[in-house]
Amino acid sequence: MKPRIVAVFAYLWVMGSAQATQGQPREPPQPEPQTQPEPQTQPATQGLPQAAATVTPGLRKVEHSALGTTLWLHLRNNPFPCQGFPWLDPTTVLFVPSQFRPGARLNLLVHFHGHDGQAERKMADHQLREQVSESGRNLLLAVVQGPLNAGDSSAGKLEQANGFARYAEELLQLLRSTAVRRALGRQAPKAAASWGRTALSAHSGGYRAVAAILAVGGREIAEVYLFDAVYGEVPRFRRWLTLGAQASSRVLRSWYTGGAPQKLNQILVQRLAEDQRPAVVEEPEGSLRPRSFCGAKRLVVHTMLKHGEVPWRHNALRDALICSGFAKIPGVRQADLGPVLQPRRLALRQAL
């Protein structure tokens, strides 16, 4: 099947039914959720939730491997603990690839797991460190602990106005701390370093944290990667892609299987066509040439993978990063793109 570029007259394609599997969001979302009034923003230094005071921030664990250095950090501005929610784990697992080169600006990818998740386990199960390393991009990966082992998509403090701005600032301060600098050695960020390009990714129920950050997080997000994760919040994703001075340069790559993510991705494609921001639809997965795949700023991919396989089986995260606006690391070999998707893989080196 030839790839189809969805324009103003985009239409819904035939939807297959899908049974909900373990780890998928269990709430049945509406096709087009009602837009809620956005909270008023406030300076990132104000409005610190009271529950944050129960957390002692700092480095809790360090692990070195051939891939790089993994740090377990506690942050006051992690999603939890948060007043009104039962979860207490304030962990962010930060991965620094072995080839990472610190500079004045630090690029960051923040990932949110789905239901019934634990950050450390999902980082391993979905091979997130391996994919980041193989992408050859110069960035840090932060995997945020959401509702621990729970069937819930809540994002706690990250759903509050400027919640992500506070989180990012605290993370930067921890990177400058003596303990973290000692653990990273030559890869420790410079004292005056600041955040550069920032991207968000999510599997399954992690969509809600991403949507909240796009709407009220208080920081510019350049790229978003969704792995069978559009279970709602279509208006927020739409506004991020269409409103604001930087909207035309923002990048969305969304994979879906069936069920609610299929239906809501189709609705999002329709809305973007109405907004004169057409999306590229890759159906079946692997049918686009590498230049078309990487050149699409708004891309929706129909995959035949199982729900839990979408982030890693075809190296979707690695593919997204290879095609991203993140700088390459000089001298690092460029990995093949999608080892199971033969046409794209064979042409990658010549296309990019």
pLDDT digits (tens, 9 = 90+) for 315-335: 999 999 999 999 998 877 655
Averaged confidence pLDDT in the chain: 85
The number of C-alpha atoms within 13 Å of 239 and in the hemisphere containing its C-beta is 13
At 332 the pLDDT is 73
- Six-digit token pair at 294? 């990487």
CA dist., res. 329 & res. 118, Å (int): 30
Q: CA 262, 265, 270, 273 torsion: positive or negative?
A: negative
**Residue 352 pLDDT greater than 50, yes or no:** no
User: Residue range 196-206: average pLDDT?
Assistant: 98
At 114 the pLDDT is 97
pLDDT digits (tens, 9 = 90+) for 268-308: 999 999 999 999 999 989 888 888 999 999 999 999 999 99
pLDDT band at 11 (very low <50, low <70, confident <90, very high): very low
Percent of the chain at pLDDT exceeding 70: 79
We find that the CATH architecture of domain 4-9+40-351 is 3-Layer(aba) Sandwich (3.40)
How does DSSP assign 248-315, residue by residue?
GG-EEEEEE-SHHHHHHHHHHHHHHHHTT-PPEEESSTT-S-HHHHHH-SEEEEE--S-GGGTTTTT-
pLDDT digits (tens, 9 = 90+) for 143-195: 999 999 999 999 999 999 999 999 999 999 999 999 999 999 999 999 999 99
How far CA 7 is from CA of 11, 244, 271, 272, 274, in Å, comes to 9, 21, 10, 8, 8
How many CB atoms within 10 Å of residue 188? 18
Residue 256 near residue 265 (C-beta atoms within 8 A): yes
pLDDT digits (tens, 9 = 90+) for 55-109: 999 999 999 999 999 999 999 999 999 999 999 999 999 999 999 999 999 999 9
pLDDT band at 342 (very low <50, low <70, confident <90, very high): very low
Q: Which residues pair with 256 in a beta bridge?
A: 302
- pTM for this prediction: 0.84
Spans of all domains in the chain: 4-9+40-351
3-class state of residue 110 by DSSP: strand
